Amino acid sequence: MDFDKLFIRCLIEYDAPEFLNVVAVVKPDFILSPHREVYEYAIEHFNTYGVVLNRETLESFSGKKYDDILVEPLKFYVDKVVERARLIQVRKVLPDLQEYATAGKVDKALTKMEEFTLEMRSAFEVDERAASIFTSAKEVDRKSTRLNSS
C-alpha cells in the first residue's frame, strides 16, 4: 500500500487549519520520492496562496492520478508515514551500535544512543505554532466580519 500517496490524497481534502496541523507533524523528508516533491509543492502552494491545493492542480503538477478511494482517516496515514520515518532513522543507527557493542566500546555506544535520542526528539518535534496562529487569525477575521456586518 502506498501510504505516501494516500496521505497526500487525504490531506488535500482538509481545510487550512488541519493542513497546517499535519504539516507541523509530517516533515517533507518523512515522505518518499516521488511523493516528497508533490508534498513540498502542496506546502509551497499553501504558503503562496493561503489555500490547500485542489486535486486537479495536484494531478497536473505530479502527472499522476490522486483518485484513490480513502478508507481511513487522515490521522491513520499521518501515523503510518511518521512511524516509517522513525523506523528508517532507527535502522540507520543500528550498524554503529552493533559495531561499538562488538568492539566492547560501551561508552561510545551509550554516547551514540544519547545523540540519537536527541536527534529523534528534534526531528519529530511538532511545531504547532503555525497552525494555532492561522486558526487564531481566521477566528479574528470571522469576528471582524460579523462586527462589520452589524
User: What is residue 131's predicted lDDT score, i.e. its pLDDT?
Assistant: 45
pLDDT, average across residues 126-147: 52
Quote the pLDDT of residue 1: 75
> How confident is the model over 53-87, as pLDDT tens digits?
999 999 999 998 888 888 888 889 889 998 998 88
Calculate Rg over the CA atoms of the chain.
20
Q: What is the pLDDT of residue 121?
A: 76
pLDDT of residue 134 exceeding 50, the answer is no
In the chain, what percentage of residues exceed pLDDT 90?
22
Mean pLDDT of 28-34: 90
| 113-149 per-residue burial string, b: 16 or more CB within 10 A, e: under 16 | eeebeeeeeeeeeeeeeebeebbeeeeeeeeeeeeee
10 Å Cβ neighbour count for 37? 13
Question: What are the φ and ψ backbone dihedral angles of 148, each rounded to 5 degrees?
Answer: -70, -30
C-alpha cell read off for 130 = 503555525
- pLDDT mean over 118-141: 57
Selection from 73, 65, 71, 19 nearest residue 42 by Cα: 19
Residue-level pLDDT at 28: 92
DSSP symbol at 56 = H
Q: Which of 67, 59, 63 is nearest to 6 (CA)?
A: 67
Buried b / exposed e along 68-101 (16+ C-beta atoms within 10 A): eeeeeebeebbbbbbeebeeeeeeebeeebeebe
With CA atoms as reference, report the closest residue to 19 among 46, 40, 41, 37.
46
